[in-house]
């Protein structure tokens, strides 16, 4: 069945006859997340249809960001396709560092990409990266442990309920942590999570005059709450845990709750990988009582072509294949609808088969609830939810996240970390001319 899809896609993409006759190869840098690993397993289908070989460079999230940023800013030319997200894409596109993804085939159906994803991966109306999958964040929890605790998860919980439930589900004798959350340094790892946590307590990175806000009470409340809850009910060494570490803990049955990317839902409910697959429920990301903002983000891991590649057409062909409706059908046919890349296409959420997936609607609700133009309870001068869409943010937030991780590790106090974050951010923003 896939051969039919491959041949149809080949026609739609106007592959030239010489593609298979001449050895051609592209190099792709990607993150070591489950959906990306799965995609690599199907690459031979693309090669069979096109004759284009694919070489993969698969990296941990923080390392990937460092490598692709260095390569594109120095014009290193190591990669023909980069896996990047909503932070980098508009900035790099505006700088002329990415190839516009215009001219996609009619069958590819660009308009089918969810507007939130398409807008976040565009600059001035031009798409510069295609979403492989999209995500927000939500609560994943053990239904059996919640029941044993005598509690019922609300559809839209508060942080105060989450903390109460985490304490009730924690069982140190049996190595069960009530809650597992990111603490790993890195602007897109623990930095992203503590930023949306701050949003949900009424905090913001900058006021309308671009002055850092880490000296304000909302940040102290958010960071103190996070640290106290994790010390009470989180795993030992959570300061070094990111997405993959917490995924592993949850799949092993060592977490009562995990708040993280909606894309994780397919992994925690997969009986081949998760020991608690049939005992997982879902809820919206929490807010703090009295604050009308939830700790949910908006993100897409997307594929982009760096300007200057010698393999532009082949790279575009791969992106169209990997982010197409046909690819989704391929995964569904072989691994079931629960395992297809989520959050990228409207048609997926209109598919009756996918609507049967237990986390499908909650994922879509979380994505639709995320508003990058209005991240915070107070006005801000920036766009972005778990990031600030300015070039300086990655460097600043990496340093700030390191200060926060030092708090998680018990190396400094909340007040010390916030003071350092305030001073460092103010200095960097002043130097940048804000």
Question: 402-413: per-residue pLDDT in tens?
Answer: 999 999 999 999
Find the DSSP H helices in 1-131. Answer: 2-12, 34-41, 43-50, 61-73, 88-94, 115-120
* Mean pLDDT, the chain, integer: 94
The whole-number pLDDT of residue 23 equals 64
- DSSP string of 197-256, one letter each residue: HHHHTT--SB-TT--B-TTSHHHHHHHHHHHHHHHHHSPTTGGG--HHHHHHHHHTT-EE
Q: What is the 3-state secondary structure (H, E, C) of 260-283?
A: EEHHHHHHHCCCCCCCCHHHEEEE
Over residues 101-115, the pLDDT tens digits come to 998 999 999 999 999
- DSSP string of 308-321, one letter each residue: T-S-HHHHHHHHHH
Residue 136 · residue 369 · CB < 8 Å: yes
Which residues contact residue 118 at a Cβ distance below 8 angstroms, ignoring those fewer than 6 apart?
A: 110, 127, 131
pTM value is 0.91
Q: What's the token pair of residue 324?
A: 């197409």
Q: How confident is the model at residue 268 (pLDDT cuts 50, 70, 90)?
A: very high
Helix count and strand count (H, E) for the chain: 19, 11
Mean pLDDT of 79-93: 98
The whole-number pLDDT of residue 15 equals 40
- In whole angstroms, give the CA distance from residue 25 to residue 19: 10
β-partners of residue 131 are 302
Over residues 307-364, the pLDDT tens digits come to 989 999 999 999 999 999 999 999 999 999 999 999 999 999 999 999 999 999 999 9
The yes-or-no verdict on residue 9 having pLDDT over 80 is: no
Is the pLDDT higher at 12 or at 82?
A: 82
């Amino acid at each position: 069945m896939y051969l039919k899809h491959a041949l149809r896609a080949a026609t739609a993409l106007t592959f030239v006859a010489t593609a298979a006759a001449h050895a051609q190869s592209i190099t792709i840098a990607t993150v070591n997340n489950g959906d990306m690993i799965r995609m690599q397993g199907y690459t031979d289908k693309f090669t069979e249809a096109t004759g284009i070989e694919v070489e993969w460079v698969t990296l941990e999230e923080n390392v990937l960001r460092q490598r692709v940023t260095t390569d594109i800013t120095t014009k290193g030319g190591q990669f023909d396709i980069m896996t990047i997200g909503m932070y980098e894409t508009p900035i790099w596109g505006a700088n002329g560092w990415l190839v516009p993804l215009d001219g996609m085939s009619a069958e590819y159906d660009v308009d089918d990409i969810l507007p939130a994803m398409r807008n976040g991966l565009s600059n001035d109306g031009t798409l510069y990266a295609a979403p492989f999958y999209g995500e927000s964040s939500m609560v994943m929890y053990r239904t059996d442990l919640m029941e044993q605790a005598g509690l019922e998860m609300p559809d839209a919980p508060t942080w105060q309920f989450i903390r109460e439930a985490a304490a009730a589900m924690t069982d140190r004798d049996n190595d069960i942590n009530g809650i597992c959350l990111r603490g790993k340094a890195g602007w897109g790892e623990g930095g992203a999570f503590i930023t949306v946590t701050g949003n949900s307590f009424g905090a913001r990175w900058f006021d309308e005059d671009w002055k850092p806000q880490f000296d304000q009470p909302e940040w102290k409340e958010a960071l103190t709450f996070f640290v106290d809850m994790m010390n009470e009910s989180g795993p030992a060494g959570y300061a070094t845990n990111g997405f993959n570490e917490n995924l592993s803990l949850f799949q092993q049955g060592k977490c009562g709750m995990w708040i993280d990317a909606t894309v994780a839902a397919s992994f925690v409910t997969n009986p081949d990988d998760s020991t608690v697959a049939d005992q997982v429920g879902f809820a919206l990301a929490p807010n703090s009582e009295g604050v009308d903002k939830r700790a949910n983000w908006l993100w897409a891991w997307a594929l982009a072509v760096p300007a200057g590649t010698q393999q532009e057409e082949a790279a575009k062909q791969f992106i169209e294949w990997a982010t197409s409706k046909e690819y989704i059908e391929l995964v569904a046919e072989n691994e079931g609808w629960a395992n297809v890349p989520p959050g990228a296409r409207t048609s997926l959420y209109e598919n009756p088969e996918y609507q049967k997936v237990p986390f499908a609607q909650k994922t879509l609700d979380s994505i639709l609830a995320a508003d990058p133009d209005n991240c915070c309870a107070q006005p801000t001068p920036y766009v972005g939810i778990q990031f600030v869409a300015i070039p300086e943010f990655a460097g600043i937030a990496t340093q700030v996240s390191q200060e926060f991780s030092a708090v998680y590790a018990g190396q400094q106090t909340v007040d010390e970390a916030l003071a350092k974050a305030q001073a460092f951010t103010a200095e960097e923003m002043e130097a940048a001319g804000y």
